[in-house]
Amino acid sequence: MEKKKPWAGRFKKGLHPLVERFTASIEFDKRLFKEDIKGSIAQARMLERAGILTKKERVELERALKEIEKEIETGSLQFGTDTEDIHMAIERRLIEKIGPLGGKLHTGRSRNDQVALDLRLYVKRETLEILHLIRKLQRSLYGVAKDNIDVIMPGYTHLQRAQAVPLAHHLLAYYEMLKRDSQRLKDCLKRVDIMPLGSGALAGTGFDVDRAHGAELLGFSAVTENSMDAVSDRDFVVEFISHCAVVMMHLSRLCEEIVLWTSKEFGFVELDDSFATGSSLMPQKKNPDVAELIRGKTGRVYGNLVAILTVMKALPLTYNRDMQEDKEPLFDTVDTVKGSLSVLAPMLETMKINRETIWEATCGGFLTATDVADYLVLKGVPFREAHHIAGSIVASCIEKGKELTELTLQEWRSFSPLFEEDIKEAVSVEGSVKRRKARGAASIKEVRRQLKRVERELKKDII
């Protein structure tokens, strides 16, 4: 049987079933039930303070709300689309359970400040979870870096072999990206952490509610200052999704490298069997589907960012029903980022590093050509000229089918009399990496220093 809407007073007819289905958000906003109950309990306490509810009434409301929370948790309370959204579903159940007293809870409140509150509570909770998952992934990166501190690999620019670098240095670059991601999310939290309840539909309320008390009950550090802004602001959703989009961008870059590194062409790493998939046709295949999916899912999150920006564009103040469209992009972003972070960490921890193959790749391809130029610079040759000489040495090696390490001193000298016996050490991969002194450079010594700092950072509180 169709139940009457709480707002049905001025209507003569019920909703057309198509409209009912079209406008309902319960299917997806039911995920806010915990936030909604928490907010309603705070609302009841604010109303008690304002003298709208007696203590006895407030206690009864609170008890019933907690029961409803259990009912939803255990699945004994189900929602049909005629309930419209989670806020109305809970209120309806409340009135069903305790009668007219349930109808007092919405005094001075609108679904507009209610939904803004629920969303802020939700984003706060999920941000914390994401911060924990980022930390976990950082730990995995640290672990793989530390365990392979002695592995030197080719560093790339333009995906062409450029200079030899420690694998740990390469991995710790992702640690830095994730560190900035955490900083951004924490900064965003400052703006999420503001309580909108008490803003009513748009104009606030005439009831004497102590909003600061509500903020304290709900764990917010401040209350919103303008009721119209409070109910129409979704900046915090835009900001949150945009930071998540950057997280995904970083993960997609790491995943792209894993896709490359697991290919036969690179062969640098091998995924654990439990993190790779086979082909239904080609028996030999071992595919990096997880990495590819994370790369692909990055597109979803970018899409969600554009979706929320587009929903909010040019909306007049204050609340408009368009804003109900904020939820699916937000929820999808949370699920995608959490899922990606969760699966990536153990995948990294279990992958096998093929030291031999990496070493072979590092020994070929003139990765120490820059060191030849630097060698001459130390003997007083201007860098431009040194670069030119080094270039012609590389060209001649390519012609002869030789690596730099295979040249005799006589051959070196035919390019410049400044070359001496120590050029051999200078063009070795180990020598090249060891010589780097600048802070943050790709040397084992600098990597050790980074690892120490990272270790300290990983011990710090998340917030």
Q: Shortest distance, CB of residue 321 to ligand ARG, whole angstroms?
A: 6
> For this structure, is 279 an active site residue?
yes
| Distance of closest approach, residue 200 Cβ to ligand ARG, in angstroms | 11
Which one of 58, 106, 109, 111 is in contact with ligand ARG (CB under 6 A)?
Answer: 111
Sequence-separated (6 or more) residues with CB below 8 Å from residue 343: 275, 290, 294
- Non-local (6+) Cβ contacts of 437 within 8 A are 443
Smallest distance, ligand ARG to C-beta of residue 111, A: 4
CA distance 110 to 106: 7
Of 85 and 193, CB closest to ligand ARG: 85
**Among residues 58 and 106, whose Cβ is nearest to ligand ARG?**
106
For ligand ARG, the closer of residues 122 and 175 by Cβ is 122
Q: Does 205 bind ligand ARG (CB under 6 A)?
A: no
Binding mask 261-300 for ligand ARG (x = CB under 6 A): ----------------------------------------
16 is catalytic: no
Q: Which residues pair with 352 in a beta bridge?
A: 270
Q: Are strands 160-166 and 152-157 parallel, antiparallel or unpaired?
A: antiparallel
Binding-residue pattern over the window 316 to 345 for ligand ARG, x denoting contact by CB under 6 A:
---x-x-xx---------------------
Is 117 an interacting residue with respect to ligand ARG (CB under 6 A)?
Answer: no
Q: Is 10 in the site for ligand ARG (CB under 6 A)?
A: no
Using CB under 6 A as the binding rule, whether residue 112 contacts ligand ARG is answered as: yes
Q: Tally helices (H) and strands (E) across the chain.
A: 19, 6
> Residue 439: in which H helix or E strand, if any?
none
- What is the Cβ-side half-sphere exposure of residue 382, based on CA atoms within 13 angstroms? 2
**In this structure, how many other beta carbons lie within 10 angstroms of the beta carbon of residue 303?**
14
- Give the Cα separation of 433 and 389 in Å (integer): 21
Helical ranges in 201-288 per DSSP H = 211-218, 227-232, 235-261
Helix crossing, 86-98 with 55-74: angle to 10°? Answer: 120
Whose Cβ is closer to ligand ARG: residue 22's or residue 359's?
Answer: 22
Count the site residues for ligand ARG by CB under 6 A: 10
Active site residues: 158, 279
Q: Which residues lie near ligand ARG (CB under 6 A)? A: 25, 29, 85, 111-112, 115, 319, 321, 323-324
